[in-house]
Amino acid sequence: MTLLKFILLGIIYYIGNSTSFTLGIGYFTLYRPVFSGLLTGIILGDPISGFFAGAVINIFFIGFKSTGGSLKGGDPCLAGIIGAMIAISYDIPGVGALAIAYPVSGVGIIFWKYRLNLNSYYVKEGIRGLKNGDLNSINQYDIYYPQMSLLIFNAVLGSILSFIIYKGLGYLVNSSIDITKYLNFTGILLIILSGAILSINHKWKYTIYFFTFFYIFSIFFKFDPYLIPVIVALLTVQKNRRIKKSKNKFIELKKKDLYKSWFIWMNFTHSCYSYEKLQGFAFAHSMVPIFKRLHKKNKEKLFDSILRHTDYFNTEPNIGTPIHGYIIRLEEEDKSSKQIKEVKEGLMGVMAGMGDSVTQTVLAPLTTMAVIYGALTGEYILSIGGALIMAASVIYLSLKGYLDGYYYGQDALEERIKFSKNSRIVKLFPVIFITSISIIISKALLISINSISIENIKGATLSLLIFYFIFYFLLNKKIKEELLLVSVYLLGLILFIFA
C-alpha cells in the first residue's frame, strides 16, 4: 500500500467521525462499519470486498449507541476501516478481519475523549468572543477550528494506525504461524457472542426461541431477502396523525429563518460537542439566524440572547427538534428568559430518552441490517433502500419537528412523545429485530465457514448454536461481556491449536 492510500484512510476516518456537513445522516451511515468498509474498499480498489467485510464487522456493532457523550465498546467507523483494509490486503475473510478490527477500535475511545476535551476549550473561546461582540467567533469555534483539528488529528492517527496494523499483520501472515486460521475461529465466535449479547439486551421473553428457530430455518431453507422489509412495511405502516390545533402565524420571523436554523443544527450539532456543554454551543449557533431577524436593530440584545443559549443542552438531535421550534416561538413572543430556560431544561431529557429509543435503538439497527444483508447476499438494492430510508427518516423527523414545534408549540412536543411511545414499529421492534439478526448471523456464518474450507458447512453452522446457548446462559447469569470477550480470544486459540 502507498502512503497516499494510508492518508486517504485517515481522511475516511475523519469523515465518519465528523458527522458534520451531512444533515445528521452521517452518524447513522458513514460512521457505521458497513459504510466505512465500503469507502475503504473504494480507496483500495475492491469496493465489493470492503463492503462485505464492513457488513460482517457491522453485525458485531449493530447494537451500538452513543448517548450523553459516551462511547462504549469501540469506534465502529475505525473498525470498518481497519477490517476492510485487512480483508482486502491479505485476503482474510470478514470474520477474521473482525477479530483484529474489534480490539483496535478501542483506540477510537481515546480519540473521542481527546476530541471532547479539546472542544471544551473551543467552546470557552467561542463564548469569550461573543462576550466581546464578535459574532463570527461562533462560526470559528463551532465549525472551523473543531473540524480542522479533527481532520488533522484523525487523518494523522488514522493513517498511522492503519500503517502499523498493515505492517504488523503482514509480518505475521508471512511467518510460519497460520494466523488467518486463528483469526477466523475467533471472528466466528465473536459473531455468535454478538447474537447472544443482542438477545439478552432486548429483554424479550421469546428472544431465544425466535433466534434459534430462524437461525436454523435460514441454514436449511432459502430465504427471500426482500421478504423481511415487505413484512416490516406492512406491520408498521400507520396513518400520520395531524395536530388538530390551528397553526401559529409568523410575527417577525420568516419560514426561511427556521430552515436556516434547522440547517445549522443538523449539520453542526456534534461539531463542537464538549463535556461541559455537550450540544449547548450548537444550540446557540442554531439560534443565530433567529436572533439576527428578531434583534437586527439591537446589537446588545442580539449577543445577550445568543449567550443565553450557550448553557448546557443535550437531547436526541432528530426526535428532539420540536424543542427548538417551540423555543424559537417563545423567543419571538418575547417570553422571559427564565420561562425559556425552564422549557429547555425540562424537555431535553425527556426527548433524549424517547428519541434514542426510536432512532438509535430501532431505526438505525433496522435500516443498517438491510444494508448488511444486501452486502452479504449481493442484493444491493436492499442496501441502497436501507440507506435511503434512514436518510429520509432523519430529514423528515428533524425538519417536521422544527416546524411543528414553532407552529403548534407544546402540542407538537406532546405529539412527538406519543409517536415515540406508541408507534407500531417501536412496539413490534423486538420480534422484527431478533428475526432479522438471526437470519443475518446465520447467513454471515454460512458464507464465512464456506470461505475457510470446512466440509460440512451446514453442520458446522448449526453446531455454533451450542456456543450461542452457552454465551446466552452466562450473560443471563450476569457474567460480564468483557470477560466473555476475553474468553472468546482464548477459545479461538484453543480451536486454532486443536481443530
pLDDT confidence of residue 444: 94
Report DSSP state, residue 250.
P
Q: What is the mean pLDDT of residues 403-424?
A: 87
Where does residue 181 rank: exposed (0-12), middle (13-18), buried (19+ CB within 10 A)? Answer: middle
Residue range 142-183, pLDDT digits in tens: 999 999 999 999 999 999 999 999 999 999 988 878 899 899
Side chain identity at 250, as an amino acid letter? F
C-alpha cell at 348: 431535553
Please give the Cα distance from 274 to 142 (Å, whole number). Answer: 11
With CA atoms as reference, report the closest residue to 430 among 189, 209, 191, 221.
Answer: 209
C-alpha cell at 127: 463564548
With CA atoms as reference, report the closest residue to 23 among 316, 266, 364, 387.
Answer: 266
Please give the Cα distance from 172 to 478 (Å, whole number). Answer: 36
pLDDT confidence of residue 235: 56
C-alpha cell at 445: 456464518
- Domain map (residue ranges) of the chain: 1-177, 248-422
Please give the Cα distance from 43 to 38 (Å, whole number). Answer: 9
Side chain identity at 463, as an amino acid letter? S
Is the pTM value of this prediction over 0.95? no
Residue range 88-110, pLDDT digits in tens: 999 999 999 999 999 999 999 88
Residue 11: HSE in the Cβ half-sphere, 13 Å Cα cutoff = 8
Using DSSP's 3-state secondary structure scheme, residue 275 falls into: coil
Using DSSP's 3-state secondary structure scheme, residue 106 falls into: coil
Overall size of the chain counted in residues: 499
C-alpha cell at 176: 510460519
Q: What region, left, alpha or beta, does residue 422 occupy, with left being phi > 0 and alpha being psi -120 to 50 degrees?
A: alpha
